Amino acid sequence: MGIVFALVTAFSFSASSIFVKRGLRYGSSDSAVFYTIAANVIFFGIGMTFLFRGQTEIYNTSGLIIFLISGILGPVFGRFSLYKSISYIGASRSASLKIISPVFSVFLAFLFLREWLNIFSLLGMAVVLTGVYLLKDETERTGREKDNLAQDRLWFGILWGLFSAFLFAATNVARKLGLRFIPSAIVGSAVSTFGGLVAFTIYYLAKGKLREIILVERPALQNFLIAGLLTCSAIFSYFVALSYVSVPVAMTIANTEPLFTLALSKLWREKDEAINLRLVFNVALIVAGVTIIAIFQ
């Protein structure tokens, strides 16, 4: 069941990214983040109000604090570190480093949650991560950076990329830890997205850029809000997945997002991708890894 919800997470995030891409024709990436998070807070806030009205026992202080931290670690500091990495070594290399976040989650989950994986789950993770890396390599081949990077910029970029992967792993460990105090995907989603929105707002308010981020053209707003609703599905499904499977497994399955992005891009004709044997092999590799995890989890 957890693997199904992790796959829903990957699908929802990939669909969301396509609407974000459409909205970026009229607005900035910062506006996209603001409105998608705002949509999450509104949706989950309403859901939490109606579902848990008067049930004060569910609002455990430790759980709320951990959920708030999870909403800041990855969505704020993780994104910042990833963008720093991109500024040094480019988007393709940075994305490849971000993919290894489940590796960090294996150690963090054992340290804080006492979760450990059997040999088959580790094998399945390795197969999925290899397939995702090769798939990203294939789909981004034409846009890959050709420049020879200076050695210092290369290492700074790698370190920032690895740090972002660590923060995204820590985010998901914090989410599952919070679920041990408050076993509710709705509450976890609402509080974590609220924490991210507050941190994001304070940051850009201090920089004096909040007004220009909020004021966007109507087509951008429409696409960003649709993307926000899709990320609601992704975040909620991810919290549910964490209730059933370990953090590394949930992260690995959710990292199959590029597979769904490729499929949806072809279906919605966002870009023209040629189908070749290399692409078919990469997709088959991801499916094989997911199957191994599903059977032996």
**What are the extents of the domains in the chain?**
2-296
pLDDT in tens, 153-179: 777 888 888 898 899 999 999 999 999
Residue identified by tokens 């997470």 is 9
**Taking the C-alpha atoms of 191, 193, 198 and 203 in order, what is their torsion angle to the nearest 10 degrees?**
150
Which pLDDT score is estimated for 190? 93
Q: Is the pLDDT of residue 279 over 50?
A: yes
Which pLDDT score is estimated for 132? 75
Residue-wise DSSP of 158-196 = HHHHHHHHHHHHHHHHHHHHHHHHS--HHHHHHHHHHHH
Q: What is the mean pLDDT of residues 35-41?
A: 92
Which pLDDT score is estimated for 154? 75
Share of the chain above pLDDT 70, in %: 84
Which pLDDT score is estimated for 142? 46
Q: What is the mean pLDDT of residues 60-72?
A: 93
The mean predicted confidence, pLDDT, of the chain is 83
- Its pTM stands at 0.82
